[in-house]
Amino acid sequence: MNFPGKIVLARLFAACLLLVPATLHAAGGGPQDPSAKYSPLTQINRDTVTELELAWEYHTGEQMREGDFASFQDRPTLIEGNLVICSMDRRLIALDPATGEERWVYDHKAEQVFYRKCRGVSHWVDKTAAEGTHCRTRLILGTPDNRLVAIDAKDGKPCSEFGENGEVQVPTSKPLAQPAELMISANPAIVNDVIVVGSYVADNQRVNSPSGRVMAYHARTGEFMWQFDPIPRDPADPAMETWENGTEGIGAANVWADMAVDNDLDLVYLPTSSASVDFFGGDRPGDNDYSTSIVAVRGATGEVVWHHQLVHHNVFDYDLPAQPMLIDFPVDGKLVPALVQHTKMGLIFVFNRATGEPLVPIIERPVPQTGKVAEEVLSPTQPFPEGMPVLMPQGFSPDDAWGFTFIDRWNCEGKIEELNYGPIYTPPSEKGTVFSPANGGGPNWGSGGYDPDSKIMVVPSNRVPLIVKLVRKEGTEDSGTEHQSIETRGSMLFPNKGAPYQAEVSAPLSNFGAPCSEPPWAALTAVDMEKREIVWEVPLGDIRKFAPFGMEIELGTPGAGGPLVTAGGLVFIGYTLDDVFRAFDLKTGEVLWETDLPAAGTAVPVTYEVKGEQYVVIPAGGHSMYQSTMGDAVMAYKLKR
């Protein structure tokens, strides 16, 4: 669940490609893996970045509709000489990477649902086909109505040998209770010749929600190959021992974040989410493997090779939201092929990606049990990585209350006193529990960027807590209309059908409408992965759009998106609600360049080189959940001539 802005920013501040030149490195590990969001290009660097100017601007023509949950989250792809954009409505648009001129548009013609977003498109090369053969290089896209389509990367025409006329229908485990209850959300992963597809399953809707099973298809023919359900169904599966009441009727644990792959190991890495429902697990006692786990499965067969659960018996909506990062991790003077998993909790876990061995020790620590509802059986401990820095505050109390004025702080302190509060993993309660980190993070789907030379990893995170309250049902709430949520007096009420409680989520705000937590409300953090320490941290975003007279006060603004790290010593990132695109100095965190965008850049920037000139591109279309400026732009920058 990616939440905080919908509530927070409704009143907030009322008071006061990875892309390298034309050829992408194959996802087989190493610092060039796309998950590292790193580019070796250096034409744009610390010394030249101030000379950046707008090279071209493109508009998709897609606009917001009333009631839509929409965001332009794309990470553009340079392939076969085209810069391919995936729009909010998941149309694929091929542009001239040097001019932004439109070359072709692929429209999947699916009926549009209210949940509109695309985080990019995947590609596969058929090495058995001759050069120049149609669909030798193909783009793979998941549609809003759960089709998997394959089109030629050069001309955008369907690949006829894939499924039926270039598409395969991905089945759901049961009929959907509402449109978009389940849909393909992230990029399909491609490991060697196998397409692996995850899904979004609507949070907090019903206990018996659809299965979050992962499906695999052959990239050439579309033939079904295997499936993996993160909720075990086979009594012989060792994971069944962690489900004391069995798994019948339990759904979700889906993979909505981007996956990562290592072709050489034939492994695909699945960051799973919580089982249904997100804030109550009284009907699923036990640790609940493989939910909220990083699971490495064999690409050819779907066999589980290794896994680690990072949240036991998840009742916090602490899904694994970020694509695993495949890097070479420094251990005792040597570089070990590793997987780094960022979490909503701000904890960083590191594993040997071949064996699953933790490269940073993991210890089990006791966690709070106070305030839980009677039916709940919590895990007494949770895993914590030892020796890695934590990216954000863990837990919240009245002493942490903050305000622009003494009265503001006093007001917040009183509100927190009335709630259930404490360290991280303080459970949901009927009283209302302060979640810090919030269930939207911390880090989220944008993940981090990594420079293999300096060993510095840069990660954005949101810092605004939320309040989760369990509301006991009176007996009639499970009848009536299907809905995602009901907005009631500054909160969101979720139905949790089949559970004894509804879930109400709100933000701890002062009477003036400002967050009760100390700024920054979003931050960009640089971690030295060799020394395992934070080297700098800066607020991410300012409140110019909310403060009087447009004052650029750097308090950070909750947002979404990811960074791009370059060998030129730069970190490019949009993310913020001030509609600014920034370049930070990788060494110091200083802002070296910034420019206004027509809408929030809640996406992942990319860079590439064409005819000797380096470009930096970012989609700027905003994110409705954060009530940002919305738009339909793709912005490209290059150095002045």
Q: For 201, how many CA atoms within 13 A lie in the half-sphere containing its CB?
A: 33
In this predicted structure, the answer to whether residue 151 has a pLDDT above a threshold of 60 is yes
- What is the CA angle 360-361-365, rounded to 5? 130
Mean confidence (pLDDT) of the chain: 91
Question: pLDDT: is 256 or 549 the higher one?
Answer: 256
**425 Cβ contact list (under 8 Å, min separation 6):** 316, 367, 368, 382
> In whole angstroms, what is the distance from residue 325 CA to residue 295 CA?
14
What are the b/e assignments for 389-408, b being 16+ CB within 10 Å? bbbbeebbbbebbebeeeeb
> In whole angstroms, what is the distance from residue 197 CA to residue 216 CA?
6
> In whole angstroms, what is the distance from residue 235 CA to residue 232 CA?
8
In this predicted structure, the answer to whether residue 10 has a pLDDT above a threshold of 50 is no
Average pLDDT over residues 569-579: 96
Q: What is the pTM of this model?
A: 0.93
Q: Among the listed ranges 11-15, 221-225, 449-453, 552-556, which one has the minimum average pLDDT value?
A: 11-15
The neighbouring-strand residues paired with 638 are 53
> In whole angstroms, what is the distance from residue 319 CA to residue 495 CA?
19
Q: What is the pLDDT of residue 110?
A: 86
Describe the strand order of the beta sheet including 456-462 as a list of residue ranges.
Answer: 449-451, 456-462, 522-528, 533-539
> In whole angstroms, what is the distance from residue 153 CA to residue 122 CA?
10
> In whole angstroms, what is the distance from residue 388 CA to residue 432 CA?
31
Task: Please report the DSSP string for 304-359 in residue order.
Answer: EEEEEESSSS--S-----SPPEEEEEEETTEEEEEEEEE-TTS-EEEEETTT--BS
pLDDT band at 44 (very low <50, low <70, confident <90, very high): very high
What are the structure tokens assigned to 546, written together? 């909310």
One-letter identity of residue 46: R
Which parts of 353-448 are beta strand (E)?
362-366, 381-385, 433-435
> In whole angstroms, what is the distance from residue 93 CA to residue 100 CA?
10
Q: What is the pLDDT of residue 92?
A: 98
What are the structure tokens assigned to 330, written together? 């420094």
pLDDT band at 63 (very low <50, low <70, confident <90, very high): confident
Q: Are 631 and 621 in contact (CB under 8 A)?
A: yes
Average pLDDT over residues 432-447: 94
One-letter identity of residue 129: A
> In whole angstroms, what is the distance from residue 234 CA to residue 605 CA?
42
Residues across the chain: 641
In this predicted structure, the answer to whether residue 469 has a pLDDT above a threshold of 50 is yes
* 33 a catalytic residue: no
Comparing C-alpha atoms, which of 67, 106, 3, 73 is closest to residue 620? 73
Q: What is the pLDDT of residue 521?
A: 95
What are the structure tokens assigned to 508, written together? 């701890």
Q: Are 603 and 583 in contact (CB under 8 A)?
A: no
Q: What tens digit of pLDDT does each residue of 264-309 get?
A: 999 999 999 999 999 999 999 999 999 999 999 999 999 999 999 9
Average pLDDT over residues 439-468: 96
CA torsion sign for 82, 162, 75, 524 is negative
Kind of pairing, strands 613-620 and 606-610? antiparallel
> In whole angstroms, what is the distance from residue 490 CA to residue 335 CA?
49
With H, G, I as helix, E, B as strand and everything else as coil, classify residue 35.
helix
pLDDT band at 67 (very low <50, low <70, confident <90, very high): low
CA dihedral 540, 542, 546, 550 (to 10 degrees): -160
The neighbouring-strand residues paired with 635 are 57, 618
Q: What tens digit of pLDDT does each residue of 513-570 get?
A: 889 999 999 999 999 999 999 999 999 999 877 665 456 788 999 999 999 999 999 9
> In whole angstroms, what is the distance from residue 31 CA to residue 336 CA?
11
Q: Are 495 and 205 in contact (CB under 8 A)?
A: yes
Q: What tens digit of pLDDT does each residue of 383-401 get?
A: 999 999 999 999 999 999 9
Q: Is the N-terminal amide bond of 277 cis, ω within 30° of 0?
A: yes
With H, G, I as helix, E, B as strand and everything else as coil, classify residue 289.
coil
- What is the CA angle 492-579-393, rounded to 5? 55
Q: Among the listed ranges 8-22, 57-71, 142-156, 498-512, which one has the minimum average pLDDT value?
A: 8-22
Average pLDDT over residues 143-159: 96
> In whole angstroms, what is the distance from residue 9 CA to residue 81 CA?
40
Percent of the chain with pLDDT over 70: 91
Give kind and range of the element (H or E) at residue 53. strand 52-59
In this predicted structure, the answer to whether residue 30 has a pLDDT above a threshold of 50 is no
The neighbouring-strand residues paired with 142 are 148
Q: What is the pLDDT of residue 544?
A: 74
One-letter identity of residue 36: A
With H, G, I as helix, E, B as strand and everything else as coil, classify residue 227.
strand
> In whole angstroms, what is the distance from residue 134 CA to residue 158 CA?
10
> In whole angstroms, what is the distance from residue 480 CA to residue 142 CA?
31
Task: Please report the DSSP string for 599-610 in residue order.
Answer: S---S--EEEEE
Question: pLDDT: is 378 or 2 the higher one?
Answer: 378
Q: Among the listed ranges 216-220, 322-326, 434-438, 541-545, which one has the minimum average pLDDT value?
A: 541-545
Q: Are 615 and 608 in contact (CB under 8 A)?
A: yes
- What is the CA angle 215-80-262, rounded to 5? 40
Catalytic residue among 317, 400, 451, 579, which?
Answer: 317
> In whole angstroms, what is the distance from residue 560 CA to residue 74 CA?
12
- What is the CA angle 143-148-150, rounded to 5? 110
**141 Cβ contact list (under 8 Å, min separation 6):** 86, 90, 92, 106, 108, 121, 122, 148, 149, 151, 188
In the block, residue with structure tokens 């791009």? 564
